[in-house]
Structure 1
């Protein structure tokens, strides 16, 4: 020990900070250290021979402590400073050693010792003291560290796998050099004897130790086993990842692939997903899983690398029939099973099965069934090739939970596929033929259902053949999606076909459809009323007059493309969607050039990627104009509008109807105006007979004369004049008689003695079809007769009794 100015250090303790005095039996000071002289403020000459208690307060406590026969500790005040005293008797009993220390320092030393002892007494926290050379001086041999007390000294890292040991050495060296502490650093502790085993993971905290003079002299390391905590965190993160990724897609294969991607590499090195063939078809699968009938198909795989290892069963391959085994029966009961390499060899006795189903280097596989709502959808297999241990209990539970969530997602996608397929099939069956080639128009309809995240809706088109060679063109869109929208579309189309037979003005047709939608809404539950409605455009084209009349209820305006390729919108009063009520619809009439194309489309066409909401209509018109080619087929022409989709599926249904107009040549029609005079009947017969002779249709003269005679007679007798007569030659012979009356003609059964009532019956017997339509003024009764090269028999005028 140095004298007054030196210091003696032991770790963080300054031994010369303790004041020392030798006392006699009565407490008189016999000798006195330099620290004692400083603490008590008396030098040796002043202190020797003086009772020590005279320098402290309270004196009585100090006197009792000094004169006691045994050692003791007390607390006194020296010059207003708290001091801790310790007295030790020296044999043979006539001497005492007094130790005095500032109370604050004494408390720090005591607490430090208590803390260190408490740390060393922990069995879950590892404590190790290393000197500046990284030699371990003290440790509690906690289980998080691979070595125990026998490893004290230079070989603390001998049992560790070298990369892990090197990482720990670098960590201690950095703390020793910089003094910056390390808190909670995750460090794997693989053993050198088994580096491929599942590593234990420690949370390491380290800080530098300085001696009493602040000179670094070691590092303290605290560790605890974080293996389970970190694994629980990884499992929770994997569950969150599974919840985020698995299920949003309504595509079965996409959902299965998401499942495989989530599990690799979180739980295994290679993952496969196999589903029942019924699931992929959208049908109800079997109640139990089968590795034979129904077959399983591999639909998703996940592994490291780009190339799938051959000859392992890949995506799209059918799972082979497996021999009966205990693991297979467990799977069929809905249990998750784990097989080691030896178990696999027993379950797959043939080499062909092993090569087909077991990846190279496989050490274990865990298979979880995919069960949802009591159905066995398939199975997911997690293989481990790099890690020797199979999935433990916690990991198997995690696999089962993720598989259960994925199974619900796959089953939702299966059910969606079934409903979507049913809706598409129903809607396609409800739609008319896509192509029509009639006297009025050449027409082509294109329907593209929504897919992906969207559901099928109620878009439709229709081409209705009307009397007198006319045609009705219809395009519409029902609000909502799925089967309800498809059913509503079917009801509307049926209603339109019925209304078309009445040959009403397009505005009147929409008005009646509006009433129908309101009745449907009234039948709908209150919470679903907002989903009942539709838009519709109804147009009637007359090829004889070359005139098109249309009315619009909320549809995009149609585009008219003239034979030279000029495309323009048809300006029509925009009516509200069907179901709004209270707003009348208006018809507009246009006379397109022969060979013009009328393009009708739903708003799904405006939702394509290339079209934005504001400029969509103009871009449709521009595309129609730019893609026009003389003589191009309507399907190809209409398909150019959908080329903007590319490989992308539409977000909403698209219905498109392209109609090229035709006109009846003037030479194939003849019209006359007759007065309301009985003599006009004979004149009408003569005009009709002459016209048929000019057309070479003399074989139709008898029946036509009867039809003309009866219709003109009724017009003259009941309606007044003028009376219009028109004959048109096409695929049929059409005879039309117009009058100014709106009275509905009726077919009645006349009695034997009745003088009248047989006219329309005669007309019905002579014609293939007959009917009437109404205009703004009056009505027109029409008939159609088939053109025939053979003789035509005279009709039976009265029904048989």
Structure 2
């Protein structure tokens, strides 16, 4: 039969005290170690009942406590309080083995050692574990403390149940800051360890954070012998974790100027490092282009106050959320969410109040989810930025049983403050971007008119980077004598100023085009006009204009096309068979410099010839030069017989394979065959 290590002692292990009891329970054998442990000499104990060795309070229960459920009465093990010869108490681990005497009568061999020595296993480890910088406590199968190290001994004032011989408390109050007593009982019963459970409690030196472990101690034959608790002080580690989380926030929040993306970045950062579930809900002013919340009707869960912008959970499918991203969030009028919005102060609830009479009575849907998911601790933080309240961030724990602390509240407020600045930047950018885009599209031609001279198609894509909409434009202008002017240009800069400057330049070009000026003279007049205007407007809010431009005039009678460039990229000319060329135009200075150095060139465009005018956003890539971009454009255009509008869309899709870093403009004109 397998035995525990009480019977298997080596050179450094304690020698067990051994006694032999006959069938009546009288002591008939007594070892030297037994005398040393309990103080009785052999002549003073032999022949006496073994029950004399028990403390009085143990008489009400059996001295031999079965501890394993093996159903074998020949072997029993348990913790027993024995009486020392001087009347003192000794807590021992005691094992009993049934034997048969030569005469056939039963007898029992009993071995005992001090409980603390048995718990550790060997006396060699005891001084090492006693001085270890961790809290260690061991309970036997009756859940009485049988050993604790020096660190745990110093905490007996806070946790009296650490004291050797004290039973585990029935009520949770004495141990709850570290670990609930019922959790210790569960580990003893099922043997499933508890690993790295975060616990917090406030001592004289302030709040401490512990990583707590519980595991069952078993004999060599897998019989349970007790439970051991180990708690490691990770207070300083928690501080380092908080600093690391804040450093990550500075890198991971605000990577774009998109409001919903920024909100999602905050929730993704918080889960699971800080919370098990997190949401960001914003007021309608932060999410332009959505239906106003005040137009929505109230529902069973309250009134629509926010719109969900970000959410994350440790659980797949985010079952905690009643509303997906982008949807209105309904809250009761006197809920913590509206109170935070009204007061501008955080709501901190270490233990969520879900009792009858709370605000949850008016929100049964949330109450049902809170109960189903085990939500038990809550922080709601306002999102303030530059004097504006943008919304709220909500942090909840479910699987993590550690409640939020004041330190967690400070961390949540810091994360929210950083995210709020990024959200406000994104909001302001979105507003200006939308206004610039609206102005840009208002100023671009709504309808292309090529008449019976040319078939036309165009595409314009605004940039999707931080600078916002640029100043790209294109135009087609019917001229006298059945001629057609084509133009494409790019004003430097981004935003409202660039869009406004583009509108002024396009209007001036149309005015000069109606005078019938040739391309080089028109660009020279335009350059002179804007150079003079910049001199007159020095000191104004408007930036000096600078733009590149390509202007061409096609005469269907002669099939000749005259064109001039003001620092712009050359057009692509595609013959009916699909051959592509980029004509070498005379160099010209950009508009606004006042140099007037522009010259025209003429080309013949046969029937079905395609002319492609574009801006640099179509062909530029960071990892490519312009020549490579022009080669790619030529390959995309070499598709004879494709309808013009489909060709235009296909070229843009082919050329723009990632986020556009600049405006993309493409104007296609194909000469028509006379009917």
TM-score by length of 2: 0.64
How far 1:246 moved relative to its partner?
1.2
How far 1:158 moved relative to its partner?
12
Residue aligning to 1:306: 316
* Partners of 2:449 and 2:477 within 8 A in 1: no
- What secondary structure does 1:458 align onto? strand
Q: Among residues 429, 435, 443, which one is paired with 1:422 in the alignment?
A: 435
Q: Does 1:591 align with 2:604?
A: yes
- Shift of the 467–253 alpha-carbon distance from structure 1 to 2, 3 Å rule, reads same
Q: Does 1:341 align with 2:341?
A: no
1:520 & 1:354 partners in 2: Cα distance?
A: 67
Q: Among residues 456, 474, 480, which one is paired with 1:467 in the alignment?
A: 480
How far 1:131 moved relative to its partner?
8.8
Residue aligning to 1:254: 261
How far 1:605 moved relative to its partner?
0.6
Residue aligning to 1:163: none
Q: Does 1:519 align with 2:532?
A: yes
* Partners of 1:277 and 1:294 within 8 A in 2: no
1:328 & 1:664 partners in 2: Cα distance?
A: 70
* Partners of 1:130 and 1:138 within 8 A in 2: no
Q: Among residues 640, 647, 661, which one is paired with 2:650 in the alignment?
A: 640
Residue aligning to 1:242: 249
Greater RCO structure (CA 8 Å; 6+ sep): 2
How far 1:433 moved relative to its partner?
2.3
Q: Does 1:651 align with 2:665?
A: no
Residue aligning to 1:155: 147
Unaligned runs of 5+ in 2: 1-119, 139-144, 153-176, 184-193, 201-207, 212-229
Residue aligning to 2:549: 536
Residue aligning to 1:232: 239
Which shifted more, 532-541 or 374-383?
374-383
- What secondary structure does 1:475 align onto? strand
Unaligned runs of 5+ in 1: 1-128, 161-188, 204-222, 666-801
2:129 & 2:274 partners in 1: Cα distance?
A: 39
Q: Among residues 320, 329, 339, which one is paired with 1:319 in the alignment?
A: 329
1:525 & 1:232 partners in 2: Cα distance?
A: 55
Q: CA RMSD in A?
A: 3.8
How far 1:581 moved relative to its partner?
3.7
- Shift of the 372–617 alpha-carbon distance from structure 1 to 2, 3 Å rule, reads same
- Shift of the 300–420 alpha-carbon distance from structure 1 to 2, 3 Å rule, reads same
- What secondary structure does 1:479 align onto? strand
* Partners of 1:559 and 1:598 within 8 A in 2: yes
How far 1:274 moved relative to its partner?
1.4
Q: Among residues 592, 616, 627, which one is paired with 1:579 in the alignment?
A: 592
* Partners of 2:130 and 2:150 within 8 A in 1: no
How far 1:237 moved relative to its partner?
1.2
Give deviations 1:161-194, integer Å, cap 9, x for gaps.
Answer: xxxxxxxxxxxxxxxxxxxxxxxxxxxx965846
How far 1:446 moved relative to its partner?
1.2
How far 1:365 moved relative to its partner?
1.6
Which shifted more, 131-140 or 359-368?
131-140
TM-score by length of 1: 0.55
How far 1:226 moved relative to its partner?
5.1
Q: Among residues 256, 277, 297, which one is paired with 1:270 in the alignment?
A: 277
How far 1:324 moved relative to its partner?
1.8
Residue aligning to 2:572: 559
* Partners of 1:312 and 1:359 within 8 A in 2: no
Q: Does 1:332 align with 2:342?
A: yes
Q: Which has the larger radius of gyration?
A: 1
How far 1:613 moved relative to its partner?
3.5
Residue aligning to 1:198: 199
Which shifted more, 394-403 or 350-359?
350-359
Q: Does 1:447 align with 2:490?
A: no
* Partners of 1:251 and 1:452 within 8 A in 2: no
Give deviations 1:303-360, integer Å, cap 9, x for gaps.
Answer: 2243322774333332113142467424421111123332486222143232467761
* Partners of 1:331 and 1:369 within 8 A in 2: yes
Matches within 5 A, 1:383-422: 383-422=396-435
Give deviations 1:98-131, integer Å, cap 9, x for gaps.
Answer: xxxxxxxxxxxxxxxxxxxxxxxxxxxxxxx999
* Partners of 1:474 and 1:538 within 8 A in 2: yes
- What secondary structure does 1:460 align onto? strand
How far 1:229 moved relative to its partner?
2.0
Q: Among residues 601, 611, 624, which one is paired with 2:614 in the alignment?
A: 601
